[in-house]
């Protein structure tokens, strides 16, 4: 089978994008595809140009910064450019309050992309809704994120106190950036609607950290919320919890949800399009019935009321649709067409 020499333009960051970029590079390398991964911001421009000339396809690991650099490299070298789109573009631009000029510039830039790879149908619909129409020279494919073997990682020190009312603590976890689109404030409000033995561990950092601490002072004083900071990726991020929470305003194909399920820990989320795409078929009870903190809390109690065997089997079916082998195979099909 034909292979291609791949130049991967990386956007170093903490989170799902970095996880999936590394997974793609390792998966292609395991199939003997020559691949070079370079951080586009930290690499000299001359080095990037030379690397692009020596490879067959340029893959931008994100549809913003790496794609900007990739479009310039394509203009210089003529090599095809693949842009990996992770989040629903229209929601991202709305949250970022992007100007009309920025959006027009993006539409012109995206005309230089040879092939878009979207992590979900939700992401694809948003991209197509933004660009309106792909040219005859462009194509777009959905490749869902795949789960590789999750390392155990460093132990996470969970500060669980005694549960209220003499009950064992109900340990809830959040793993992610503390930023506007993730709506971490929902976590505190949902916790207030849950029984007093429910406790929340927050793993992550971000611009809303200080505000979250301020708003959760009463819960901190009660020992019901614990801010655990940034932590290396691994199964240890999920295994301490009974349930993880995902209150995001929007997502593409969230690795937090998939990794949690792969660790046998249910993930309860708001009913945004990406999460309905992920959960509706096998485990709709993992979705809140509305986009409010009380609905999120009610979904937690619903999951706890179900037979554990049912929840386990439903989660396993979701995980089985996101295998590493399928992920790499679909990416290979895309790259062979370039």
Nearest-angstrom CA–CA distance, 171 and 308: 16
Tell me: the pLDDT tens digits for 58-110? 999 999 999 999 999 999 999 999 999 999 999 999 999 999 999 999 999 99
Q: What is the pLDDT tens value at each position of the chain, 338 positions in all?
A: 578 899 999 987 767 788 899 999 999 999 999 999 999 999 999 999 999 999 999 999 999 999 999 999 999 999 999 999 999 999 999 999 999 999 999 999 999 999 999 999 999 999 999 999 888 889 999 999 999 888 887 777 776 666 566 678 999 999 999 999 999 999 999 999 999 999 999 999 999 999 999 999 999 999 999 999 988 888 899 999 999 999 999 999 999 999 999 999 999 999 999 999 999 999 999 999 999 999 999 999 999 999 999 999 999 999 999 999 999 999 999 999 98
> CA end-to-end span of the chain, whole Å?
14
Cβ neighbors of 199 (< 8 A, separation 6 or more) are 160, 161, 163, 169, 170, 171, 172, 223, 224, 225, 226
Fill in the DSSP letter of residue 249. S
CB 236 within 8 A of CB 156: yes
Cβ neighbors of 309 (< 8 A, separation 6 or more) are none
Nearest-angstrom CA–CA distance, 42 and 22: 17
Q: Which helix (H) or strand (E) holds 57?
A: strand 57-60
Fill in the DSSP letter of residue 169. P
Cβ neighbors of 310 (< 8 A, separation 6 or more) are none
For helices 16-30 and 255-262, angle between their N-to-C axes, nearest 10 degrees? 70
Is residue 69 exposed (0-12), middle (13-18) or buried (19+ Cβ within 10 Å)?
A: buried
CB atoms within 10 A of CB 31: 13
Tokens for 38, please give them: 């370079």
SS3 content of the chain, % helix, strand, coil (to 5): 45, 15, 40
What does the CA dihedral 288, 289, 292, 293 come to, rounded to 10 degrees? Answer: -40
Cβ neighbors of 89 (< 8 A, separation 6 or more) are 63, 123, 126, 127, 130
What domains can you pick out in the chain, each with its CATH number?
6-146+323-336 (3.40.50.2000), 164-320 (3.40.50.2000)
């Amino acid at each position: 089978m034909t292979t291609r020499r791949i130049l991967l333009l990386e956007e170093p960051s903490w989170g799902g994008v970095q996880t999936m970029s590394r997974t793609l590079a390792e998966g292609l390398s395991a199939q003997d595809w020559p691949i070079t991964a370079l951080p586009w911001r930290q690499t000299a421009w001359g080095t990037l140009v030379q690397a692009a000339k020596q490879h067959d396809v340029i893959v931008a690991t994100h549809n913003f910064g790496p794609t900007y650099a990739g479009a310039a490299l394509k203009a210089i070298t003529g090599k095809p450019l693949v842009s990996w789109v992770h989040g629903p573009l229209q929601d991202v631009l709305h949250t970022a309050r992007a100007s009309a000029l920025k959006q027009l510039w993006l539409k012109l830039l995206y005309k230089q992309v040879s092939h878009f790879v979207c992590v979900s149908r939700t992401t694809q619909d948003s991209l197509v809704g933004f660009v309106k129409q792909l040219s005859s020279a462009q194509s777009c494919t959905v490749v869902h994120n795949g789960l590789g073997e999750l390392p155990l990682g460093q132990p996470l020190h969970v500060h669980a106190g005694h549960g209220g009312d003499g009950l064992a603590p109900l340990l809830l976890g959040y793993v992610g950036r503390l930023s506007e689109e993730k709506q971490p404030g929902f976590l505190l409000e949902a916790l207030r609607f849950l029984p007093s033995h429910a406790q929340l561990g927050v793993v992550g950092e971000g611009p809303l950290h200080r505000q979250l601490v301020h708003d959760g002072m009463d819960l901190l004083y009660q020992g019901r919320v614990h801010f655990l900071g940034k932590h290396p990726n691994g199964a240890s991020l999920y295994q301490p919890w009974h349930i993880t929470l995902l209150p995001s305003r929007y997502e593409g194909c969230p690795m937090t949800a998939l990794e949690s399920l792969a660790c046998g820990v249910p993930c309860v989320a708001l009913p945004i399009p990406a999460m309905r795409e992920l959960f509706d078929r096998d485990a709709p009870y993992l979705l809140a019935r509305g986009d409010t903190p009380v609905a999120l809390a009610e979904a937690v109690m619903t999951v706890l009321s179900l037979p554990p065997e049912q929840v386990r089997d439903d989660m396993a079916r979701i995980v089985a649709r996101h295998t590493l082998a399928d992920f790499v195979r679909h990416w290979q099909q895309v790259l062979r067409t370039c």
